[in-house]
Structure 1
Amino acid sequence: MWSWVAHRVTGVLIFFFLFVHVLDTALVRVSPEAYDDVVATYKTPLVNVMEYGLVAAILFHALNGLRVVAVDFWSKGTRYQKQLLWTVVGVWLVLMAGAFYPVLQHTLRTLFGS
């Protein structure tokens, strides 16, 4: 099932983000100047698009996790798992559409002007 694969992949991606986040935040104690340099590299359009990908991964992982809980603990969960998956995909698409401008506004302004 592709949702199983996507759930594992998004979980690994979120883990690596958290790992890098902890490392770069810990850098502030070692060298505040180096921390400022690292944070400055995060203010690029490429990283902004990656942030949108992070939002996508977190939202899918969370929504699919709720679906897995429903399938595991609801007596009719296995019967409705296909409908639950399509509900997750639909809600995910709506939320991603709603997050498009708020997350990517910096990049959109850079590419298309104010």
Structure 2
Amino acid sequence: MASTAVNAPSRSRKPQGTLYRGNEGMWSWVLHRITGVVLFFFLLVHVLDTGLVRISPEAYDVVIETYKNPVVGLAEVGLVGAFLFHALNGLRVILVDFWRSGPRFHKQMLYGVIGLWVILMVPFTVRHLGFVFGE
């Protein structure tokens, strides 16, 4: 009887076997998937509107002209942000998967990704919005 009490799982222990239980690893996983879907749909639209040039150059010109407004300019900041996060976090995922010490440092690497993302996004955003809003 005593041996079953020793082998009984403790309710206070965290589940084992994954990095992604509601902490930084899970949120980076979620953001990686969301940015991947955003980039997929951007590429789909990009291929379709670029394909218009073969069908009707005039229709292509009309579509491109509709993109020249502040709403699309703001969306471009989001698109670049999604691309940059997806790329940097993808490198982090590669390190977590293929570097022996990767899982141990996954949080620090995520904070590095976020820091690098901010360092790269701030100047881009300032410059791009200057163009969008006619600096």
Taking structure 2 as the reference length, the TM-score comes to 0.79
1:76 counterpart (101, 109, 113)? 101
For residue 30 of structure 1, report the CA deviation from its aligned partner. 1.1
Matched residue type, 1:68: V
Equivalent positions of 1:50-69 (< 5 A) are: 50-69=75-94
Unmatched tracts of structure 2, length 5 or more: 1-25
Unmatched tracts of structure 1, length 5 or more: none
Structure ranking higher on relative contact order (CA contacts 8 Å, 6+ apart): 1
Q: 2: distance between equivalents of 1:73 and 1:44?
A: 43
> In the comparison of the two structures, how many residue pairs are matched?
110
Identity of aligned residues (%): 59
Taking structure 1 as the reference length, the TM-score comes to 0.92
Q: Which residue of 2 aligns with 1:102?
A: 127
Q: 1: distance between equivalents of 2:128 and 2:94?
A: 29
Q: Which residue of 1 aligns with 2:46?
A: 21
Indicate the structure (1 or 2) with the bigger Cα radius of gyration. 2
Q: 1: distance between equivalents of 2:40 and 2:98?
A: 26
For residue 5 of structure 1, report the CA deviation from its aligned partner. 0.5
